Structure 1
């Protein structure tokens, strides 16, 4: 098995690359290094390429042919909601065209399976409770819509028999499997809190008037190592059965509020954290938590890490990057 990982120099991709390499699999990484770094791929071959650029399908096909790639894990995409709202065409070009190039290369060179990095953003506003894969998909921003279109593309290609596909819908990813692979972006709650505290500021809490136990928004936080293991499990499953396409949530099934995350980070850091409460953000639901029953049933996967270990690992990685 030779696995091509697009976006493998990024936060989540690098964890999957390291797990695959340590399991003895041959790995090649394709990344344009716009957000990732070459040091994260370790000993894997790195091909610098923007998968959404003109001619990328042909360039990817050459890599697949040269390395005898059997399977692909596709991470390469833009993922900031605010950016997608400000520049939707860029997001469709990067996320949809990029996946299209990957699928064209895979079908041309006979790759047998693709794992697609999707998102819980495909669900949009939810009514609360555990969210199953058969819940309505009504994304509320261009980023979420590009992920839903990507799922459709993969499902339709898989239906032709050209390859097998698994779309993994991530919930809130945090933590680090190794200190050198922490999340470098200040774009989610955990890194925003760490960044604010490091600058001597109070992290902002967007609303404490939700219908939740403490009034702050509740989300499902999954450790990046658990997420990486889900990708490996998806690859292994597609090698062993004939199911053409699956779509699976990756989450813990347990909700954690914003204020609970702040308290957990305070415990991990050993310092009190004072917050600034501001108004809700438009479109923020009160609670979004995964129902992980399907992925456990189909792949035998379940989250192993605790919230405390997730937050402690995020703090360790943050300190490692900023000694």
Structure 2
């Protein structure tokens, strides 16, 4: 059995591909390299350079590599930018998912793990988000992910597609020093880039109703996220019962101030963050309950805050050293 990893040259997808290989599960990566890097692709995993809007290429890849399941990670993942580029976001995340499902149906591929997002919840007024928390996405990105879940649900009714969706918030760290977070919008890269440039990282708002006044979020290690994708794929392969969606949450969360303190300790670069005004729409706390995923997908937080920061920092330094050589 072979699993196609869409977006497998990206930060999360490349970790999923490595996790599949470590589990002795055959994989093939499909990526258009619009944001992924060829250097992230493991040497022993076949690579197809294609956009998932191209159904002909998808069908050819599925046929050539004997694909039996798909782990769908590819997508446009920038919530803030999606507000400015809604049509692009829907094209990349909704139309492309429709195209992928059409190719799967044509090739008889009947199982899929969908990389969804906790953005489907918007800003829920609860301390702990569960799978049944109302879905009220606040951006085209969050809406596109929710539509993706609906597409899988409806295709399951029509064709018997077996599926699950994995929702998570802030993915951090590195499970392989050759793979790092390249996003210009995520907290860890923003803090690291500021430090490397000799600038002071910034905190947006310190007057929230939280223990230290800064936002509290789930920060989950990318290797744990990848392992959950593999566990979901195994469960589908075994035809075991599986929920339509799982939250990959920490259950307690970390504040931005805690992350900043850990970064200073790990990097050895002392700094006092600059304080900026709150960003519009930022809720004080969003943390997800991961009990269902713990029950079914071997989900757990295997890394401490320091380990998450250290692995990310070491991967960032390696990337800088590599670019300088």
Listed one character per residue, the Cα deviations across residues 143-183 of structure 1 (whole Å, up to 9, x for unaligned) are: 11100100100111122343211100012100000111111
Distance 1:272 1:255 in 2: 24
Which residue among 69, 75, 78 is the counterpart of 1:77? 75
Q: Which secondary structure state, in structure 2, belongs to the residue aligned with residue 126 of structure 1?
A: coil
Query: Where do residues 1-323 of structure 1 align in structure 2 (5 Å cutoff)?
Result: 1-42=1-42, 43-52=44-53, 56-241=54-239, 243=241, 246-323=244-321
Distance 1:28 1:300 in 2: 24
Distance 2:241 2:172 in 1: 30
Shift of the alpha carbon at 1:112? 2.7
Shift of the alpha carbon at 1:244? 7.0
Distance 1:245 1:289 in 2: 20
Listed one character per residue, the Cα deviations across residues 82-115 of structure 1 (whole Å, up to 9, x for unaligned) are: 2201110000011101111111111111113101
Distance 1:24 1:230 in 2: 15
Q: What 5-or-longer segments of structure 1 have no aligned partner?
A: none
Contact kept, 8 Å, 2:248 with 2:299, in 1: the verdict is: no
TM-score under structure 1 normalisation?
A: 0.96
Shift of the alpha carbon at 1:245? 5.4
Q: Which secondary structure state, in structure 1, belongs to the residue aligned with residue 286 of structure 2?
A: strand
Shift of the alpha carbon at 1:24? 2.1
- Could you list the runs of 4 or more consecutive aligned residues of structure 1 that deviate by over 3 angstroms after TM superposition? 242-245
Q: Which secondary structure state, in structure 2, belongs to the residue aligned with residue 5 of structure 1?
A: strand
Distance 1:282 1:21 in 2: 42
TM-score under structure 2 normalisation?
A: 0.95
Q: How many residues align?
A: 320
Q: Which secondary structure state, in structure 1, belongs to the residue aligned with residue 234 of structure 2?
A: helix
| Distance of aligned partners of 1:244 and 1:157 in 2 relative to their CA distance in 1, 3 Å threshold | farther
Distance 1:273 1:157 in 2: 51
Listed one character per residue, the Cα deviations across residues 225-244 of structure 1 (whole Å, up to 9, x for unaligned) are: 00000000000111223547
Distance 2:112 2:55 in 1: 15
Distance 2:195 2:229 in 1: 33
Distance 2:240 2:318 in 1: 43
Distance 1:211 1:272 in 2: 26
Distance 2:124 2:243 in 1: 24
Distance 2:208 2:173 in 1: 26
Q: Which secondary structure state, in structure 2, belongs to the residue aligned with residue 70 of structure 1?
A: strand
Distance 2:226 2:137 in 1: 24
Distance 1:23 1:297 in 2: 20
Distance 1:60 1:244 in 2: 26
Shift of the alpha carbon at 1:300? 3.0
Distance 1:318 1:39 in 2: 14
Contact kept, 8 Å, 1:8 with 1:14, in 2: the verdict is: yes
RMSD across aligned C-alpha pairs, in angstroms?
A: 1.3
Shift of the alpha carbon at 1:127? 1.6
Contact kept, 8 Å, 1:155 with 1:245, in 2: the verdict is: no
Distance 1:9 1:321 in 2: 15
Contact kept, 8 Å, 2:207 with 2:213, in 1: the verdict is: yes
Distance 2:258 2:62 in 1: 45
